[in-house]
Each structure stands twice: as structure tokens, then as C-alpha cells.
């Protein structure tokens, strides 16, 4: 294995270990436990004197391949694969905090992430301040003596706001706090939070890493010291481990990640331009367009647009529903990152639990629609939009 391989090569070969059979494809090790040749071998394994697995809740061979491949892609020293993206987020945040600590989080978060910091953490005496993360001054103002974690997502769901990760990391380092970045929307290909100064990166592998809508998964990546000190024991004893079957599915998904994300991004970019020209669309937000409100930060920290497009229809909810219902190729679903193009109306689905005020703060109106571009032929997607837009009243 070579660390100098470029991403596309690492994603096919990185982290692979082979059994005595020399199988081409990665093997699935569906086993709970492992046997030892002797009592002394078991003792040595438990003492950490020899390498090897102990119990699948702690780690197992297929999961290990997935973790190693993700480390190569992310430039991280170590990782833990979790059963879902939310298991990754919850573990990454709670494993390093205790009662009396304080989190500063950007308020534009995936709904369940927001629940973890806003509702769950306070039950255990961990305070949280939610801010508009676009302005670095807000991060600085929210700092308290007990601030230990900065948490953010960039670009955000669904309005694709971006946050200056290097700027937030600089502030965190001044007070010894850790920056946790949920990098799902950027994908590991287009944004490298660790290189930008963040300390911990989390993914929902359910999205682009699987990319074919099959299984849930997540991963937490960081340096070895942080994982050893914070996540290692938490992970072993609270049990968020990924199923080896899902680790295998995700390993196969990850092989084609660059091909899929490239096609999805090209499709998203074309659709964004097409929608921007429609007189039924009030606004298009796409990180790959020059008119994105934060194009300067995107140029600094991202190397690609996004597979997602957010746009606002002039006709509000009625127009949004009519558009979604008229689409034939593009399916209505709250999921994202899939090979299939998916469209969702955040105000009535993913963000329905927020108050009207909170939705307005995030820029979500009744006419806001989020598209996750798939890998279909872009001509078919444009034709689908063209047909559907013609049917709605402006
Ligand atoms: C989907 C998602 C999650 C949660 O991941 P699951 O795999 O569904 O648990 C967290 N953050 C972001 C940004 C997501 O899109």
C-alpha cells in the first residue's frame, strides 16, 4: 500500500487485506469473535502486546479495511466505522465532553445533528450555543471559558451556506477547543477539513460513500492521539460499531466514489445553470456558481462544486409540490448522494420540525427545493425539469 497513491487509486486498493485464498474482492468477515491458538496468545492480545482482533464491537477485518481506506482518502491517522452517520456524529461529540463543557455549533445543521447538540447534550449538562456560522465574529463572541467543541457542517443542508473552516479552526486553537466537521455535503473529494485545521471529521457514509441507496454507515476520522484519548474506549463500550456486511457494501461503493461524484457534480452544475435561467425560479444556490453568496470562501476551501443544488420557486409551496409531482426521472425523497436524482421540499419534510422563525433564519422558504443530482444522463434530467417547470404556475 502506498500513501502517495492518488485518491482514485486508493479508493480501489487502499486498506485491502487478503485472506489465505487471495480473493480479488474484499472479503466479508461476518464473525462476532476470534479464536486464539493458546491461552497465552489470548492474554497477549488483551494486553495489546500483539496485533489482532478481539471482538467485533471493537473492530473486525472488513471494517478495518473500510476504516483504512477512509483514512487514506481523508489524510487521517485513524478512524472508527459506525452503524450510521448519526452514530458517528454523536460519538464524535459526546466522547470528548463532560458535564460543564460547552459547544458552539453553527445552527444550519442536519436535523438530527441539531437535536444532538441542542436537545440531547444539555440533558447531560453540556451547554450549547447555536450561531450563524457564516460570520467568524459570531464564533468568537460565543466562546466561553468552558468551550471545548466547535461543530459545523459546510456546505449546509439544504441552503448550501459555507463556513470558513480554517478561520473557525484558528479561533478554536487559540482556546484549545476541537473543531468537528460534518463533511457529508462536500464529500471527501472536494473538501479536506483536517488540512484546513479541523481536528475531527465525520461522515454519513450512507450518502455519497455508499452512493447507491443501500445501507447506513458512518465514520469518525482524526489523529491517533485524539482517537486513543477520546473515542477508543467510548466506541468499544457504547457499541456504535458498523455491521461488517455494511462495511463491505461501503468498501465496494467507495471504489466508484470519484466517478459518481464527478458525474453528479457535472449534472448538478448543468441543472443549476438551467434553473437560474428559468423565470419561475427566484434564486439558485450552488457552490459551483460564481453568484454563490460566499464564492470567495468556496474558492479557498473547496475543489469542486457540489452534488446538491438548492433553489427557490417563485410560486411557493404550491409550485414546489407541482414541480416535484410533475418530475418523472427525478424521484421525491429526503435522501441524498444517491446514483438516482432525488428532490425534496425541506419545509414540509427534513426541516418541518423547526419553527417558522428557525426555518427563515436558515433561508428555507415555502418555495425552497433541494435537488441531489444523480448519475443519470444530464439531458434526461434537464428535459425532466423543463417539462415539469412548464406545468407549474409561476
Ligand atoms: C444524512 C446525514 C447525517 C446522518 O447520517 P445517517 O447515516 O442518516 O445517520 C448527518 N449529517 C448530514 C449532513 C447528513 O446528510
In DSSP notation, 8-72 reads HHHHHHTT----TT--SSPPP---SB---SSHHHHHHHHHTSS-S--BTTT--HHHHHHHHHHHH
pLDDT of the residue at 377: 98
pLDDT one-digit tens code per residue, 17-29? 999 999 999 999 9
* Residue tagged 478561520 (cell numbers): 167
DSSP reduced 3-state for 372: strand
DSSP characters for 160-204?
Answer: -----HHHHHHHHHHHT-EEEEE-TTTHHHH--TTTTT-SEEEEE
Helix (H) or strand (E) holding 273: helix 257-276
- β-strand pairing of 218-222 with 200-204: antiparallel
Q: For 242-260, how does the pLDDT look when each residue is reduced to its tens digit (9 = 90+)?
A: 999 999 999 999 999 999 9
Residue 81, SS3 per DSSP: strand
Interval 309-364: pLDDT, tens = 999 999 999 999 999 999 999 999 999 999 999 999 999 999 999 999 999 999 99
CA of 173 relative to ligand 1 center, distance in Å: 27
Using the mean position of ligand 1's atoms as its centre, give its distance from the Cα of residue 188 in Å. 14
pLDDT of residue 394: 60
Question: In the structure, what pLDDT confidence band is assigned to residue 105 with cuts at 50, 70 and 90?
Answer: very high
Total residue count of the chain as it appears in this document: 394
Distance 61 CA to ligand 1 centre (A): 25
**Dihedral Cα 209, 251, 28, 78, nearest 10 deg:** -90
pLDDT at 5 (0 to 100): 86
Q: What's the CA gap between 16 and 218, in Å, rounded?
A: 19
Question: pTM of the full predicted structure?
Answer: 0.97
- The yes-or-no verdict on residue 2 having pLDDT over 70 is no
Q: Which domains can be identified in the chain, with CATH numbers? A: 2-254 (3.40.640.10), 257-390 (3.90.1150.10)
- Cβ-contact 212, 171 below 8 angstroms: no
Query: Mean pLDDT in the chain?
Result: 96
- Nearest Cα residue to 62 out of 32, 92, 85: 32
Is residue 190 within 8 Å of 304, Cβ to Cβ?
Answer: yes
Distance from Cα 137 to the centre of ligand 1, integer Å: 27
Instruction: Kindly state the cell numbers that stand for 296.
Output: 470567495
Q: Which DSSP state fits 347?
A: G
Q: Which atom of ligand 1 is nearest to the CA of 87?
A: 9
Beta 218-222 vs 78-82: how paired, if at all?
A: antiparallel
Mutation choice for ligand 1 from 204, 211, 342, CB with most ligand atoms inside 8 A = 204
Distance, CA 154 to ligand 1 centroid (Å)?
A: 13
In tens, the pLDDT along 153-197 reads 999 999 999 999 999 999 999 999 999 999 999 999 999 999 999
Query: What's the rounded mean pLDDT across residues 2-16?
Result: 87
| CB of 337 closer than 6 angstroms to any ligand 1 atom | no
Answer yes or no: is the C-beta of 344 below 6 A from any ligand 1 atom. Answer: no
Nearest residue (CA) to ligand 1, atom 11:
110
Using a pLDDT cut of 70, give the percent of the chain over it. 99
DSSP 241: B
Q: Would you tell me how many other CB atoms lie within 10 Å of the CB of residue 122?
A: 12
pLDDT range class, residue 56, cuts 50, 70, 90: very high
- Please enumerate in sequence order all residues whose Cβ is within 8 A of that of 2, keeping only pairs 6 or more positions apart, or say none: none
187 Cβ neighbours under 8 A, 6+ residues apart:
208, 257, 261, 304, 307, 337
* pLDDT of res. 4: 81
Amino acid at each position: 500500500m502506498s500513501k502517495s497513491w492518488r485518491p482514485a487509486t486508493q479508493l480501489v486498493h487502499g486498506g485491502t487485506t487478503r485472506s489465505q485464498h487471495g480473493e480479488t474482492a474484499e472479503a466479508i468477515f461476518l464473525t462476532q469473535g476470534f479464536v486464539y491458538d493458546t491461552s497465552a496468545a489470548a492474554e497477549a492480545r488483551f494486553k495489546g502486546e500483539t496485533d489482532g482482533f478481539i471482538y467485533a464491537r471493537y473492530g473486525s477485518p472488513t471494517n478495518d479495511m473500510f476504516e483504512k481506506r477512509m483514512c487514506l482518502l481523508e489524510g487521517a491517522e485513524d478512524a472508527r466505522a459506525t452503524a450510521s452517520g448519526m452514530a458517528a456524529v454523536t460519538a464524535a461529540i459526546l466522547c470528548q465532553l463532560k458535564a460543564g463543557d460547552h459547544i458552539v455549533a453553527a445552527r444550519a445543521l442536519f436535523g438530527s445533528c441539531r437535536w444532538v447538540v441542542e436537545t440531547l447534550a444539555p440533558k447531560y449538562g453540556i451547554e450549547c450555543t447555536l450561531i450563524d456560522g457564516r460570520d467568524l465574529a459570531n464564533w468568537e463572541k460565543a466562546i466561553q471559558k468552558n468551550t471545548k467543541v466547535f461543530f459545523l457542517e459546510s456546505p449546509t443542508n439544504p441552503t448550501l451556506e459555507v463556513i470558513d473552516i480554517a478561520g473557525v479552526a484558528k479561533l478554536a486553537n487559540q482556546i484549545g477547543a476541537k473543531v468537528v466537521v460534518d463533511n457529508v455535503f462536500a464529500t471527501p473529494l472536494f473538501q479536506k477539513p483536517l488540512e484546513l485545521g479541523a481536528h475531527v471529521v465525520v461522515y454519513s457514509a450512507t450518502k455519497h460513500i455508499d452512493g447507491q441507496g443501500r445501507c447506513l454507515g458512518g465514520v469518525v476520522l482524526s489523529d491517533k492521539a485524539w482517537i486513543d484519548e477520546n473515542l477508543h474506549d467510548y466506541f468499544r463500550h457504547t457499541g456504535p460499531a458498523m455491521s461488517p456486511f455494511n462495511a463491505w457494501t461501503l468498501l465496494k461503493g467507495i471504489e466508484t466514489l470519484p466517478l459518481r461524484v464527478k458525474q453528479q457534480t457535472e449534472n448538478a452544475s448543468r441543472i443549476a445553470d438551467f434553473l437560474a435561467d428559468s423565470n419561475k425560479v427566484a434564486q439558485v444556490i450552488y457552490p459551483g456558481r460564481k453568484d454563490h453568496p460566499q464564492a470567495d470562501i468556496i474558492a479557498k476551501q473547496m475543489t469542486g462544486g457540489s452534488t446538491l443544488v438548492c433553489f427557490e420557486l417563485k410560486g411557493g409551496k404550491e409550485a414546489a409540490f407541482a414541480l416535484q409531482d410533475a418530475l418523472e426521472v427525478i424521484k421525491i425523497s429526503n435522501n441524498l448522494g444517491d446514483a438516482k436524482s432525488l428532490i425534496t421540499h425541506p419545509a414540509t419534510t427534513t426541516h418541518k420540525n423547526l419553527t417558522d422563525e428557525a426555518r427563515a433564519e436558515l433561508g428555507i422558504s415555502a418555495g425552497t427545493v433541494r435537488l441531489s443530482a444523480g448519475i443519470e444522463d444530464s439531458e434526461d434530467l434537464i428535459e425532466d425539469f423543463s417539462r415539469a417547470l412548464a406545468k407549474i404556475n409561476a
